[in-house]
Amino acid sequence: MPVYKLYYFPIKGRGEVIRLIFACAGVEFEDIRIPFEDWPSRKHEMPFGQIPILEVDGKKMSQSSAICRYLAREFNLYGKDNFAGYKSDEFGDAMYDVMLKLPWTEKDEKKKEELTKIAVNETIPPMLLPFEEYLQGDYWAGELTIGDITFASCADHLLSLRPDIFDATPKLKALKERVFSIPNIAKYVATRPKTSM
C-alpha cells in the first residue's frame, strides 16, 4: 500500500474532497494541516507554490482536481467506463463553477459577508435547478463517483452558509445526505476538526 500524505491548510476548502475520497475508500493517509502563518516559509517546498499537494511514496502531486481523479482511479470511484468518468467530471466541474460565485478572495470582511449573502440568496439557487433536473437515480453517473463526493463537499459548505439552500432541490439535498451517510464518510465527518471554512 502506498504511503499517502496530504498537505493543505487547516480548513476544508479544496482539500476536503481529497480527504472525503480517502475516507470513502477506507484508506489511511497523513493529513498535514499547515497553519496559515507557516505557509510563507513552506511555499517553496510545493510544486507551483500552492496546495493542496498529495505526496505518494515521496512523489508530490499538485492540482486538486487532478489529485481527485488520480485517487478515484486508484480507489474505483471513477465509474465503470469512460463515459461514467466523464459524467463524474461533469458534475464535479459544474459544482466548482457554482462555488466560484462565492467571494473567496475578498479581504474586506463586511463586503465579503454582503457578497456571500447575494451569492447564496440570489446567484447560486437558480444555478442548482439544472442539477436537480438532470439528476436521475441515486448518483449522477449511476453509481457513486468522485463527482458525487465533490458535490456533497460543496453542498456541505453551502448549507453552512444557508441551511435551507437545497429546499427547492430535494433530489440534491437527498444526494448530499446519501453521500454523507456512507459509513466511512459519516465516521470521518463526525470526527474531523471543526473549521469555519
Q: Is 162 a catalytic residue?
A: no
Q: Judge contact between 116 and 128, C-beta under 8 A.
A: no
User: Do 4-75+184-191 and 82-181 share a fold?
Assistant: no
Q: What is the CATH number of domain 82-181?
A: 1.20.1050.10
Q: Of 69, 70, 78, 104, which residue is the catalytic one? A: 104
Q: Of 8, 78, 139, 140, which residue is the catalytic one? A: 8
> What topology is assigned to 4-75+184-191 in CATH?
Glutaredoxin (3.40.30)
Q: Is the pLDDT of residue 86 over 90?
A: yes
Q: Is 8 a catalytic residue?
A: yes
Q: Is 39 a catalytic residue?
A: no
Q: Judge contact between 140 and 133, C-beta under 8 A.
A: no
Which pLDDT does position 62 carry in this prediction? 97
Angle in degrees, CA 186, 187, 193, rounded to 5:
100
**Domain edges within the chain:** 4-75+184-191, 82-181
pLDDT tens digits, 121-150: 999 999 999 999 999 999 999 999 999 999
In this prediction, residue 196 has a pLDDT band, given cuts at 50, 70 and 90, of confident
Q: Of 7, 14, 78, 140, which residue is the catalytic one? A: 14
